[in-house]
Structure 1
Amino acid sequence: MDLNEFMEIIHPMLPSGGLDENQMNVVIHGQGPLWVIAGPGSGKTETLVIRTLKLIFVDNVNPKSIVITTFTEKAAKNIKDRISNYAYLIYQKYPELQRNLDVNDIYIGTLHSLCNQIMLEYRYPGYENYRLMDDIEQYLFVHEHSDAVKHHHKYQDMWNHFKYLENKWNRSFNSRWGRTQVATTLFNRIVEYLIDIEELKQSDEKWAVQLADAYENYVQLLEIHHRCDFSHLQKKFLEFLNTKLGELFIKGDGSLRHPGISHVLVDEYQDTNPIQEAIYFKMAENTHNLCVVGDDDQALYRFRGGTVECMVNFGNACHREWGITLERVNTVFLNNNYRSHREIVNYCNKFITSFPVMQKIGARVKDKPELNPKSDISGNYPAVAYITGRTIEETANNFANFVRYLLDEGVVSKPSDCALLMKSVRENRNWAEPFKKALNKVGIEVYNPRSRKFLEQEEVMAALGAFITIIDPKQNALRKVCNENIQRLVNRWVDTYRNVASESPELRKYVDCSIKSIAKRNLGERLNINISEILYRILAHPPFSDWLDDPERSYRLGKLTQLFEKYSSIPYDTPGSTRGLLKMSSKNNGEISFRWRQNFYNSFIGLLSTEGLNDPEDEEIICPPDRLPIMTIHQAKGLEFPFVFVYGLRLKGDKPNESAIIEEDLYKYRKIKYSINFTPLERTQQDLIRLYYVAYSRAKYALIHLVPRNHMGSKGFGFIGNNFSLFSAIVKKI
């Protein structure tokens, strides 16, 4: 079919008004690199989807030769669903196309998921029989095995160099968990930044030489135990792409099974890191059909290794990798905002350009135009405003009363039409707690799954308390644990279990019988039961079996079982061993191995107590409709709400953050270097400005700042121009 027929068939599902000129330019782009700078609310995902469909149904591109990556599994599912819905319209008219052009054959997912999928599909020997560890498993693995963590005195120059991270992360290097967090971060950055290990080893800086040694030890341990973390998954995939199997994947062999890769499309490119950039360019080397979509003003993930420089310098990368000049890179700006009230769009334009540090060359994509307000939302009301009060508590009360008014007057139909965004959602008096209390006082429940309150939920505490009562009934191993926080947590969990068990005779009977059964076992005997099985049997009894009918409690208990399985998977020093199987003490009758129990407390419970955990989130639900979401700004990325409230505008950015300093420390050891024109402090400030820009651009009808009076006299990057006086002259007070 031709382009006109294609557009006519999918027209019923297109946004009202169809596609604008710039969106169509993306859709009809032919061959070569395509650089799409897409502002908030510009319809970038829809445009990416329609371009993909055009490639398949108009250009007859084999769906299996298309790769689409995005930042989260949720976003990937959204793209898959949209493609399927549009394709359904086409298949209805031309059912025979479904046999030859099946959109389910497209490679769609996060880059991590696709790396895993493709290497398994091609049976890459360098990835056979590896266990892929998530962040928690990696953390536990580093804690248990890394030489730099266990024998830190051998790496004193390295730890002294990174001493600045102690205060930043509130982690003492005297703590094994403090060393674990830093070591894990550094190991990941070495991979993500494409650090040249040989240069690191030959450095005249002792800390760098020791870091190279610590990293090589970690890599060796990964190979010994056949483990792979997310960063090394990408490293292995890049190695795969440079093999004969990788060549087959990229170039194909002319068969339908191996058509080669003709198009690579990357969403959220502003949060790409150097190794991901290398992967994308390698996958597209045969055709140069690399389409990147993103917004440098919405780059948020430097703390995970993302470098906005990949987005800002895409044209330079095309020249470096392929010899393609900037003039031959098709650059398209999607700057029509279809989301927000005109006042909000204009405010976002003023905000992002009001800081001198954002006006410097290289801070933003060159010649970037302002957003154009194109939403149907209108009305002569203060769409950008602020609420205040003498204190945080009074500001929170005024905010809650305003939301109550919006609901009572029918301005919004449900609490989830409003969202409260802030940098941290921990429920303490400086962040979410006053707002939660104020909302509850006026009858509005909140949804705050990232408050790190997972371990304080009754069902989680009771389950952990029951398990610990079985494996350490006298708590003699707990008393030998030096960490008082662990002792307090465990005692609280055991008390919660006892309270629950007092009204649950079946549960108490199971726990008591388990204790007696263990007491009868022989010295040194291996028990033929995994710790996960014990937890499952605990959860099979009331009240847990009843709580499983409650979605929230069920999600939490499901997450707890996953945590047990992750801990069970961490090997001992011997390859193939597992921590999940229990063994009796070789010295004390009737007790689980003292060493195992101590390791469980220090390692597993130590992780839980040190890091805290968020509640599990249902990816299908942004927020239950009868609750008001309190979200981090990172959580809100990609979302939109009728009313957005933002708290915490006075973040000063007067000291460089740890991510920018680590980036600076490792920069000269990179294999590929961009000319970074900014100091760590300037990058920190730019990241803060982008953070607030993302928050402000989520709003559809109204953007309302929450500013206690004692925040007004100070500067903060949440205020336009870092100046409250300028802010108050532009923004109306409610």
Structure 2
Amino acid sequence: MAHNQIPPAQIIDEQEFLDILAIVLDKDFRIHDDNPNINVSQRETLIDPLQQIQFIVAGPGSGKTTVLVLRVLYLIFVCGNSPNSILITTFTKKTAEELRSRIQGWGLQLVEHLNQNGFEIDIDYPSIIVGTLDSILQEMLTQAQASQGLLGTLLDSQGVRVLLTRIYSSLPQQDRQQIGFYLLTLENDTWEEAESQSRNYRFANSFAQQINRLLTLSDRLIADFVDITAWQPELPELQEAHNLTIAVIQQFWNQMHQRNLYSFSTLALYFAYLIHVDSIPQSILDSVYSSEQLGVDVNVQLLLENLAHLLIDEYQDTNFLQEQIYFQIFRIIRQTDASASISVVGDDDQSLYRFRGSTVELFTQFPDRLVHQIDGVFPEEIQIRFLTNNYRSTAGIIDFYNRFLTLFPQFEQFRVEDKPATIFANLEGRPYNPPLIFITAENSQQLAREIARFVHQVSAEPGLVIDDPNDPYLCPNRGDIAIIANSIQESMGQNIKFLGHLRQAMSEYNYSIFNPQGRSYNDIPSARNLLGLTLLMIDPDSTIQDRLRVDQDSLDRLQQWRNEARAILQDTHEEDAHLHENIADLRLYVEAWHQKRKVNWTHNQLVENWREGRSTMSISRILYDLLRWFPYFTNDKEGIVYFSSMVNLLNQLSIIGGWGEKLVNDTADPTKWQVSVRSAIVSFFIPLASGSINVDETLLETAPRDRMVARTIWTAKGLEFPITIIDIGSEITMNHKSWRPRYFPIHGIANIWLTRRLRPYSPMDPIVEDPIDSSFADVIRKFFVAYSRAESLLVLACTSRVLGHLVDSEPNSRIQAVQVGSPNQHTDNRPILFPPNSYWRYR
């Protein structure tokens, strides 16, 4: 190596870098005769010039993480950039950790190789800024707050829901009814459709659904820069409900800034304000922040000091607020460094998060938007790169979802222009090419039994014979099998849904599924009993609970929990037999609480430590004490997730402030006990009973290897599984409009209509696309994401209503699928759920 010819900042030249990648990392991007499978698109993306603006369109399984990591190393080793000049954002903490780990792991291997060959270098890889945008902004503001006092505490999704639930549950029932109906009108094309949903589908407008819609609206108002003083309802009859809705959201924002709290969206908006992003409506700023917060001024250059290169992953799920932050950062760093660059990576076909405000057009139109919004950026500076080689799936799966994308001709207008199809990367050792599989049955219960039998056959010796009797397919780790669906709810009220039937069917083989998000706390006997006992201890006669005027369904569930807990104490409860072993100790513990004697367990003995005067106890302490009677929460993997999620919720209550999770017994002031218990019921028990609190998604990142995993399409994004079962219609047993928004949205979908109603009051570009076409495009993207998770075996599951004429075909044989549902459900140029193909029928 000609060391004396290398510029001072550069460590090695481009050819040396490519040689070392091949030698050390076994990643050969060199052009030579012995490298016929070189991925030219990856090579070009990797070695683009330092200042190159990159628009990288990366299909599923195309190795984008590898390219991102190697691009970072190229910027350091070849371009001579300091690690702390590079900022990488991605969508999830798990992906951020993977990027960080690979950069450090591969980077250290390169350093070690060079140092063994005469170099003396040490690179500070941890100084590269890697994370989700939220975590990066929080870190930047935390650094700035030392002198400015900027930032309070960031609430997670559970904390945000609790705070809003406390506010919303305090409203009169009549106001909640008006708001609930108004939220439905925002998500439907007509008043009549909203009335139909409200009247005919009880769960469509439940308390939990209203909380979900309010949070979505709150985030969208912020993300889309909606001028809330200008925004008015379409119909005068809705004015009062509109005003009530805005008032609730403003009260929610007001309580956050009064308590010095932030949500992810209010944190991002505050950062945008501090770095002087234009076009934020003053009405939003005045509603979300205090005058003191808006009076703060920071040195923007200091905040973004050293930054020169932005690499943004999953850009297709960016919202308008996030785009404006990225553009403003790039605008600022480009003013001080002419070689500053921005690289965005994503796939418009995998844009899923419209309900969080993501706007796919921000990705598809990225080059034009960057040129028009940032002075001095010209079209010729932007290089478009397509990563199309798929290293994940079999050729048959890739061909299937490529053809699936062609089923809706209008879909092309929603895609990146001239986008090529995904290509099978034909490398040695790729999996063999089994056929796609269909599993059908008359109804969801029978379908669940068929899938359980399929899982048993494919995971137990000798395996499942598909085409070749001498080569059965075997997947011994059931954790490598995923079932992906629109909804993974296991029940709705008293009705057991498909995933609930599947859990029951799997248990017949002594198997289970990992689906913590599919069940509410009300669905889990141990959770009901644990929470019911806690209620009996802190409010034994329900005198405090009975005075509450909150959601009646939630109060009814709390009463059910109490009744079941009493049955346990009376030794008449049958569901949790393990409780009966220590029932005497349990009674002693509960009775001590009834007598206001604060107790806890020490070395398996009851110790009283209730003090005269003022004493406090926490809900979490009670839950931990009761764990000794509930092994489900310590021995079962799902139980651990549920309990951890409850504890996290209690931690969020402490952050929110007020009484938090504390119970106060003050002999001089008995009202403190009543007030603190009331606060605990409203802030902790009601959110759990209403279903408005979801399991913390971060607890789901590591699934057990011995259980089949259930995922929604949204939480499956970014993951891959050897065997993927897609629910394409387990709920379709009749031609009913309730399932159409998820599969065949002839009246549009909720987030499309909400977007259209907010856009006139936003600085974003006007909407020109047809709302029905946009809705169908979203359905296409959704199922494309689901289909592209599969590595070697893709299974489509549905009721016979979906397949109609195929029901009577021979089991375990090839079939030709032509269309979904009955012909009168289709209009010209509307898509179906899968293309005509040769499928293997499992039956």
TM-score by length of 1: 0.86
Deviation at 1:702, TM superposition (A): 2.2
Q: C-alpha separation between the residues in 2 aligned to 1:369 and 1:239?
A: 39
Q: 1:702 to 1:37 in 2, by over 3 A?
A: same
Cα separation, partners in 2 of 1:125 and 1:209, compared to 1, 3 Å: farther
Q: Offset at 1:527? A: 3.3
Once the two structures are superposed, residues 406-449 of structure 1 have per-residue CA deviations (whole angstroms, 9 ceiling, x without a partner) of 23234223222322211111124442123333333344332222
Q: 2:754 matched to which residue of 1?
A: 662
The aligned counterpart of 2:183 is 162
Give the corresponding residue for 2:145: 123
Q: Does 1:68 align with 2:72?
A: no
**1:659-680 Cα deviation digits (max 9, x unpaired):** 2221111101112x23433233
Partner of residue 258, structure 2: 224
Given the alignment of the two structures, is residue 432 of structure 1 paired with residue 499 of structure 2, yes or no? yes
Q: Which runs of 5+ in 2 are unaligned?
A: 1-11, 29-34, 188-193, 277-296, 335-339, 464-472, 572-577, 599-607, 733-742, 805-819
Deviation at 1:367, TM superposition (A): 0.8
Taking the aligned partners of 1:658 and 1:380, their CA distance within structure 2 comes to 41
Q: Deviations over 1:354-401 (max 9, x none)?
A: 113313x2x111110111111447788652232223333333333333
- 2-structure distance, mates of 1:99, 1:544: 55
Counterpart for residue 810 of structure 2: none
- Matching of residues 625-636 of structure 1 within 5 Å: 625-636=705-716
Contact (CA 8 Å) 2:400, 2:835: kept in 1 or not? no
2:593 counterpart of 1:514: yes
CA positional deviation for 1:465? 3.1
**Which residue identity lines up with residue 171 of structure 2 in the other structure?**
K
Partner of 1:581: 662
Q: What are the Cα deviations for residues 532-576 of structure 1, in whole angstroms up to 9, with x where unaligned?
A: 34434444xx345896466554443332222222234434xxxxx
Opposite residue 97 of structure 2, the aligned amino acid is K
Q: 1: CA distance between counterparts of 2:324 and 2:348?
A: 19
Q: Does 1:24 align with 2:24?
A: no
Q: CA deviation at 1:330?
A: 0.9
Q: Does 1:471 align with 2:538?
A: yes
Give the match for residue 559 of structure 1.
Answer: 645
Gaps of at least 5 residues in structure 1 are 253-258, 572-576
**Which residue of 130, 137, 146 corresponds with 2:159?**
137
Partner of 2:403: 350
Q: Quote how far apart the aligned CAs of 1:24 are.
A: 1.4
Structure 2: how far apart are the matches of 1:171 and 1:715?
26
Q: Are the structure 2 counterparts of residues 507 and 67 from structure 1 closer, same or farther at C-alpha, using a change threshold of 3 Å?
A: farther
Q: Which amino acid aligns with 1:333?
A: F
Please point out which of 22, 25, 32 is paired with 1:13.
Answer: 25
Matches within 5 A, 1:128-527: 128=150, 130-145=152-167, 150=171, 161-164=182-185, 180-197=211-228, 199-200=230-231, 206=239, 215-242=249-276, 244-250=298-304, 252=305, 259=306, 261-285=307-331, 286-287=333-334, 289-323=341-375, 324-359=377-412, 361=413, 363-376=414-427, 382-407=434-459, 408-410=461-463, 411=473, 412-428=475-491, 429-457=496-524, 459-481=526-548, 482=552, 483-493=555-565, 495-496=567-568, 502-504=580-582, 505-518=584-597, 527=615
Distance apart, 1:194 and its partner CA: 1.9
Question: CA 1:145 to 1:629, structure 2 compared with 1: closer, same or farther past 3 Å?
Answer: closer
| Further displaced range: 46-55 or 9-18 | 9-18
Displacement of 1:491: 3.0
Per-residue deviation, residues 296-327 of structure 1 (Å, max 9, x unmatched): 00111111221111111111211122143434
Question: In structure 1, what residue type is equivalent to 2:501?
Answer: P
Aligned sequence identity (%):
25
The 8 Å contact of residues 259 and 656 in structure 2, kept in 1 or not, is answered as no
Q: Counterpart amino acid of 1:512?
A: E
Which is worse superposed, 395-404 or 491-500? 491-500
1:532 matched residue in structure 2: 620
Tell me if the contact between 1:200 and 1:209 (Cα under 8 Å) persists in the aligned partners: no
Residue by residue over 1:464-484, the C-alpha shift from the partner in whole angstroms, topping out at 9 and shown as x without a partner, is: 233222211223333445432
Secondary structure at the aligned position of 1:284 is classed as helix
- What is the number of equivalent residue pairs in this alignment? 714
Counterpart residue number, 1:255: none
Distance 1:5 1:107, change over 3 A: same
Q: Distance in 1 between matches of 2:62 and 2:254?
A: 46
Tell me which amino acid in the other structure corresponds to 2:789: R
- Report the more deviating stretch, 462-471 or 415-424: 462-471
Shift of 1:155: 10
Q: Which one is further off, 322-331 or 205-214?
A: 205-214
Mark the CA change 1:580 to 1:709 in structure 2 (over 3 Å): closer, same or farther.
Answer: closer
Report Cα offsets for 1:442-469 as digits up to 9, x if no partner: 4433222221244544553443233222
Query: In 1, are the aligned partners of 2:61 and 2:390 still within 8 Å (CA)?
Result: yes
Structure 1 residue matching 2:765: 3-state secondary structure: coil
The residue identity in structure 2 corresponding to 1:374 is A
Q: 1:109 aligns with which of 128, 131, 137?
A: 131
1:351 deviation in Å? 0.5
Which amino acid counterpart does residue 51 of structure 1 have in structure 2? Answer: R
- Alpha-carbon shift at residue 98 of structure 1 (Å): 9.3
How far apart are the structure 2 equivalents of 1:613 and 1:352?
35
Shift of residue 248 of structure 1?
1.6
* Of 593-602 and 129-138, the range deviating more from structure 2: 593-602
Question: Aligned in 2, Cα 1:402/1:221: closer, same or farther, shift over 3 Å?
Answer: closer
Q: Is the contact between residue 454 and residue 612 of structure 1 (CA under 8 Å) also seen in structure 2?
A: no
Specify the alignment match of 1:4 in structure 2: 15
Q: Give the drift of 1:529.
A: 3.1
CA RMSD between the two structures: 3.9
Structure-2 separation of matches of 1:233 and 1:533: 32
Q: Structure 1 residues 444 and 160, CA, compared in 2 at 3 Å: closer, same or farther?
A: closer
| Distance in 2 separating the partners of 1:394 and 1:272 | 41
Is the 1:143–1:176 contact (alpha carbons within 8 Å) kept by the matching residues of 2?
no
Residue identity matched to 2:749: N
Alignment correspondent of 2:190 = none
Counterpart secondary structure, 1:432: helix
Structure 1: how far apart are the matches of 2:703 and 2:84? 35
Which moved further from structure 2: 293-302 or 367-376? 367-376
8 Å Cα contact 1:715-1:723 kept in structure 2: no
- 3-state SS in 1 of match to 2:517: coil
Which deviates more, 160-169 or 186-195?
A: 160-169
1:570 partner letter: I
Distance 1:493 1:328 in 2: 68
Q: Which moves more between the two structures, 697-706 or 378-387?
A: 378-387
What one-letter code is carried by the residue in structure 2 that aligns with 1:138?
V
